[in-house]
Amino acid sequence: MRAEILDFLRQNQGKYVSGEEISRELNVSRTAVWKHIRALKQDGYQIEAHTRAGYCLRGTTGRLLPEEIKAVLTTKVMGQEIYYYPQIGSTNNEAKKLAAGGCPEGTIVVAETQNTGRGRLARGWFSPYGKGIWMSVVLRPPFSPLEASKCTLMAAVAVNRVIRQVAGVYSGIKWPNDILFQGRKLVGILTEMSAEMDAINYVVIGMGINVNIEEREFPGEIAATATSLLAVSGREIDRRMFLAAILKELETAYHLVQTGGFTSILDDWRSQSITLGKNVDVIGPDHRYSGLAIDIDNEGALLVKTAQGVRKVLAGDVSIRPVV
């Protein structure tokens, strides 16, 4: 009922509506209306109350509350079920628990901040409160576990499209899962899977997107290597609209993969890549070599041309950076 009351206030935003009118339209008692209004104000909604005039919604919370996201969502699957946390250890860890418990495909976990957010190779992720999109999405794809790693490439393509279209920032994808602008990281993506021998139970795609972080807020250890859409574009981004656009683009890409395979996604990834055509340094646990990144294969592995021939680099076992 709280969501319905909020929707009614939003439809009349800037105007006063009486408790009696809300009660009549939504078939709920005036006492219940008052309790829900109080709860909405505690959530941060700017609602003015006037004894004779009623209630007036003046502004929203700025938080990524489920009601705020759903108000602008245009998807059929992605984000239809939302778990919101003001603070959480890791959205990926929570999404994996929900997935193991049988939550529907498209469920998202979103938080204002993470205490133990993770990137690839167990690296930490800076997640300041209310300044980014820290989100995980649950998928239950019908394809082989061997193709699951390509979900990272699919997510990178979808997010990068939205960054270019909505934020107007011409960013590029660094293999396999980072989105950069002029060499500095905007987005990190972490894909985790549970599978049997021949079937995927679930895939969780975690995204850390630096949206409205000011340059001065980045800690010293990453200040030179990370940036945000605010810092790059010079304007604050509406996080809920941006999140809704990402879910829509991800749903479109996922549907394309399910009906036609990954070919078009891999082609889009190639066109947005800032790794291909560059000299790279490949660093693994027990090896290191340099070469020219020439392509990705049909499995999404990076192909690096070295003096000894072309070597295949698998997602998750190396770090890659331009040779200095």
In 22-131 the beta strands, taken as DSSP E runs, fall at 46-50, 54-59, 82-85, 108-111
Name, of 20-34, 112-126, 156-170, the range with top average pLDDT.
156-170
The answer to whether residues 164 and 180 touch, using CB atoms and an 8 Å cutoff, is: no
Beta strands in 156-267 (DSSP E): 172-174, 178-181, 184-195, 200-210
Same domain, 4 and 80: no
CA distance linking residue 136 with residue 92, whole number of Å: 6
pLDDT-derived band at 121, boundaries 50, 70, 90: very low
Q: Please tell me whether residues 112 and 190 are part of one structural domain.
A: yes
The domain containing residue 209 runs over which residues? Answer: 66-272
pLDDT of residue 111: 97
- The pLDDT score that the predictor gives to residue 285 is 75
- Same domain, yes or no: 6 and 147: no
* Strand 82-85 to 108-111 pairing: parallel
Residue 25 pLDDT level (bands cut at 50, 70, 90): confident
Same domain, 133 and 85: yes
Annotation-wise, does 183 bind a ligand? Answer: no
Same domain, 105 and 254: yes
| pLDDT band, residue 322 (cuts 50/70/90) | low
CATH code for the domain of 301? 2.30.30.100
Q: Report how far residue 231's alpha carbon sits from residue 131's, in angstroms, rounded to the nearest whole number.
A: 12
- Overall domain count for the chain: 3
Residue the block writes with tokens 């003015």: 48
Q: Is the pLDDT of residue 276 over 70?
A: yes
* 91 in a labelled binding site: yes
- Residue 291 CA to residue 278 CA, distance in Å, equals 8
26: number of Cβ within 10 Å: 16
185 annotated binding-site participant: yes
CA quadruple 257, 109, 118, 193: dihedral positive or negative? Answer: negative
CATH of the domain at 25: 1.10.10.10
Q: Using omega within 30 degrees of 0 as the cis cutoff, is the peptide bond preceding 141 cis?
A: no
Q: What percent of the chain has pLDDT over 70?
A: 94
Q: Is 194 known as a binding-site position?
A: no
* pLDDT value at residue 318: 63
Domain shared by 295 and 241, yes or no = no
- Do 37 and 186 share a structural domain? no
Give me the pLDDT at residue 62, please: 82
Angle between helices 239-260 and 263-272 (to 10 degrees): 130
DSSP string, 264-284: HHHHHHHHHBSSTTSEEEEE-
Q: What is the pLDDT of residues 123-155, one digit of tens each?
A: 566 899 999 999 999 999 999 998 988 999 999
108 and 184 share one domain: yes
179-232 residue pLDDT tens: 999 999 999 999 999 999 889 999 999 999 999 999 999 999 899 999 999 999
Question: Are 120 and 249 in the same domain?
Answer: yes
Determine if residue 80 is labeled as part of a ligand binding site: no
**Is 90 annotated as a binding-site member?**
yes
pLDDT grade, residue 90 (50/70/90)?
A: very high
Same-domain check for residues 204 and 236: yes
d(CA 80, CA 69): 10
- Please report where in the chains the tokens 């990705």 appear, as a residue: 296
Say yes or no: 20 and 126 in one domain: no
Residues 26 and 127 in one domain: no
Q: Any known ligand binding at 92?
A: yes
pTM for the predicted model, two decimal places:
0.85
Q: Where residue 6 falls among pLDDT bands split at 50, 70, 90? A: confident
